[in-house]
Amino acid sequence: MSGTAGGEGTPMSEPGWNRREILRAAAAAGVGSAVFTRALSALAAEAGPGAVTPAMIGQAEWVAGIALTDAQRELMAKDLEGLRRDAAALRAVPLDNAVGPALVFRPDALGPAHAPVAPQRAPERLDRGPAARPASPGELAFLPATRLAALLAAGELTSVELTQLCLDRIARYDPELLAFVTVAPELALAAARRADAERAAGRARGPLHGVPFVAKDLLSYPGVRTTWGAGPFRDQVRPGKATAIARLEEAGGVLLGKTAVGELAWGDVWYGGTTKNPWKPAQGSSGSSAGTASSVAAGLAPYGLGTETWGSIVSPCTRCGATGLRPSFGRVSRHGAMALSWSMDKIGTIARSVEDCALAFAAIHGADGLDPTAVDRPFAWPPRRDPRSVRVGVVRELFDADYTKWADTEDEKPGYAEWQALDREALAALAQLGLDLVPVTPPATPPVGPMALILTAEAASAFDEFTLAGGADRLVRQVRDAWPNVFRQGRFIAAVDYLRAQRVRTLALAAMERLMAEVEVLVVPSFGGDMLLLTNLTGHPAVVVPDGYRPSDGTPTSLTFIGRLYGESELLSVAHAYQQATGFALRHPPGFSA
């Protein structure tokens, strides 16, 4: 068999040509070209007639979870060969990561109908009274965005001063933290000068006008690298601007740069090293919104954007003592963001306070016509309801479970026991606030853990071309709990099993809807039971806040509040009330105070 790919005179039958190279050549040639057609023909010839044998089917039955007779295997062989060739043809179609499936996940499909509304882009009012500028730059660096907004509005501070302060701190501390992939000083200072000029002309855009922010390096920005934390993409510049960044800039935000993300959104290890926890720099910051949480906690940026598929906001915020909002699925457009799991990815905010998260969320939520999952739903801030009128469910069963089971080693167990004690103190503090606390049990759902194969299958598909071309082999982490191994596993998940998992997910959604019909907010341990995975699968929003510091080493612990779908207003109001009463968010790591 002869043919060409990548130019005439390159026979596919020559030694050295394999399936991967044929696919690469076909992709480079372009769909619909004569070369592409010949590449498909070469794939079919490579497989050979009758290449799938009854014996091969027998060896693969354990993957499919079925047992067949010899006659059934014989009957199936030719058709499976056809399916294999169909799959090869589909693999030869070039697919950028931005191309999603022709399916849209809707977590509210089982609940009451929600009418679209015009999204509110700015708070109704933010009156913080007289603004006094702190005496030291270190104190100024750790003020929440709400206080910085008041200083900017009062003329006590300029955006250029604040932006330069952040850039100076990044230059000083980031070599230790490794929280930034790209710092953009020229871009940031130009935006700060525009913000100051607009404010001087009486054209203030709102409380975030002139306040710097950072963006996780999964989000695209024109002319700035978007590396996804992975070495094979370190020079990648994506087209267009992520909607979430664009909306913060429309609100007057000043982008400082792109923050580190664990390779392809897993963990805190990226091609530049391990992003560190400011409270314990010998320790990683957790991930995958590693750099945003670390930089906010260390006073390098007032707030920033993170993403979560399964814990990527909750986990680094817990480790670094930051506050994070993971909105309802579909609340924020993911246009311009790396796709990992089309039915689980969410963009959220990380800051020093609940209210800062609320301000940023007010700027970025709502449909944009570019992400088919993004919706318009009401959001009000400041909250219109007294948090004491919100029914708050407390899942006491999870607080009473043994936290030390979360530990990976015996040495870690005392730290988890301290965390449990701090969580119980947090419950007592909530009771003292006069909240309407209601004991509830975890929702009676189908097994939650097995539904994680949805993420495995979608992530493997999102990076299928990358894996087939050998890209996964070039990532830093080549261990069991890392993407290279998981991407390969994804090819062993049958489509029938993936869709079955999605059907089981429907039952989980119904169970959560029943529970959330009784209460408006849930309080749970951040990693208790299956709630973190469950609520990421069902799309419910969560706010994670620091709730204490371990006596043994001073590192933070956290508490998580979960809300109804699109119930961010009530969710944030309860978390804000707790945060205001406790003051844990006002602390900052001592090694970064200057």
Q: What is the 3-state secondary structure (H, E, C) of 47-67?
A: HCCCCCCHHHHHHHHHHHCCC
41 part of the active site: no
Q: What is the pLDDT of residue 64?
A: 74
Residue 124 has pLDDT above 80, yes or no: no
552 is catalytic: no
Residue 79, exposed/middle/buried by CB under 10 A (0-12, 13-18, 19+)? Answer: exposed
pLDDT band at 17 (very low <50, low <70, confident <90, very high): very low
β-pair partners for 545? 559
Residue-by-residue DSSP string for 493-526? S-HHHHHHHHHHHHHHHHHHHHHHHH-SEEEEET
Higher-confidence residue of 443 and 216: namely 216
Mean pLDDT along residues 449-467: 94
Mean pLDDT for the stretch of residues 197-208: 95
220, 285, 286, 288: the active-site residue = 288
In order of 68, 75, 424, the CA distances from 71 in angstroms are 8, 6, 62
Fold of 137-447+491-592: Amidase signature (AS) enzymes (3.90.1300)
Q: What is the pLDDT of residue 368?
A: 95
If one compares 11 and 239, the residue with the highest pLDDT of the two is: 239
The pTM for the full model equals 0.88
* Tens digit of each residue's pLDDT (9 = 90 or more) over 126-172: 766 667 899 899 999 999 999 999 999 999 999 999 999 999 999 99
Q: What's the pLDDT score for residue 412?
A: 94
pLDDT at 479 over 70: yes
pLDDT of residue 130: 62
Mean pLDDT, residues 80-106: 81
Contact 477, 483 (CB under 8 A): yes
Nearest in space to 531 (alpha carbons), one of 555, 566, 559, 503: 559
pLDDT of residue 411: 94
Is residue 397 pLDDT above 60, yes or no? yes
Residue pair 143/157 in contact (Cβ under 8 Å)? The answer is: no
More confident residue, 117 or 99: 99
Position 186 scores a pLDDT of: 98
Range picked from 10-14, 109-113, 195-199 for highest mean pLDDT: 195-199
pLDDT of res. 557: 98
Which tokens hold the place of 17? 């040509």
What span, in angstroms and rounded, lies between the C-alpha atoms of 312 and 322?
13
Can you give the pLDDT at residue 122?
A: 74
Q: Which of 303, 313, 311, 277 is nearest to 591 (CA)?
A: 277
The answer to whether 208 and 149 are in contact (CB under 8 A) is: yes
Cα 314 from Cα 190, distance rounded (Å): 33
What does the pLDDT read at residue 106?
87
Local confidence band at 65 (pLDDT 50, 70, 90 cut-offs): confident
Report how far residue 308's alpha carbon sits from residue 542's, in angstroms, rounded to the nearest whole number.
Answer: 11
Separation CA 216–CA 177 (nearest Å): 15
- How many C-alpha atoms does 380 have within 13 Å on its Cβ side? 6
Categorize the per-residue pLDDT at 94 as very low, low, confident or very high, splitting at 50, 70 and 90: confident
More confident residue, 100 or 561: 561
User: What six digits make up the tokens of 494?
Assistant: 């049958």
CA geometry: angle at 241 spanning 237 and 246, to 5°?
Answer: 145
72-76, 340-344, 350-354, 446-450: least confident range: 72-76
Among the residues of 445-588, which ranges form H helices? 453-462, 464-468, 483-490, 495-518, 531-538, 568-582
Which whole-number Å values give the CA distances from 302 to 113, 177, 320, in the listed order? Answer: 37, 16, 14
Is the pLDDT at 456 greater than 70, yes or no? yes
Nearest to 294 by CA among 310, 270, 327, 264: 270
Is residue 52's pLDDT more than 60? Answer: yes
* pLDDT of the residue at 26: 46
Give the closest residue to 338 by CA, choosing from 451, 247, 449, 225: 225
Q: How far apart are CA 177 and CA 249, in angstroms?
A: 26
Does 526 have pLDDT greater than 60?
Answer: yes
Q: Would you call 288 a catalytic residue per the annotation?
A: yes
How confident is the model at residue 129, as a pLDDT? 62
Upstream peptide bond of 541 is cis (omega within 30 degrees of 0): no
Q: Among candidates 119, 209, 176, 149, which has minimal Cα distance to 352?
A: 149
CA nearest neighbour of 311 among 526, 547, 549, 523 = 526
Q: What is the pLDDT of residue 8?
A: 32
How do residues 538-580 score in pLDDT, each as one tens digit?
999 999 999 999 999 999 999 999 999 999 999 999 999 999 9
CA atoms lying within 13 Å on the CB side of residue 238: 21
Looking at 312, 343, 526, 569, which residue is catalytic? 312
Burial status of residue 80 (CB atoms within 10 A of its CB: 0-12, 13-18, 19 or more): middle
Residue 324 near residue 313 (C-beta atoms within 8 A): yes
Residue pair 559/532 in contact by the 8 Å Cβ criterion: no
Domain boundaries, the chain: 19-91, 137-447+491-592
pLDDT at 28 over 60: no
Lowest mean pLDDT among 183-192, 329-338, 381-390: 381-390
Q: Measured between alpha carbons, how far is 348 from 408 in angstroms, rounded to an integer?
A: 28
pLDDT in tens, 268-286: 999 999 999 999 999 999 9
Question: Is residue 21 very low, low, confident or very high in pLDDT (cuts 50, 70, 90)?
Answer: low
Helices (H), 70-177: 70-91, 137-141, 145-154, 159-177
- In the set 216, 241, 276, 346, the catalytic residue is 216
pLDDT of residue 29: 45
pLDDT at 381 over 50: yes
Within 350-439, where are the H helices? 354-364, 396-400, 413-432
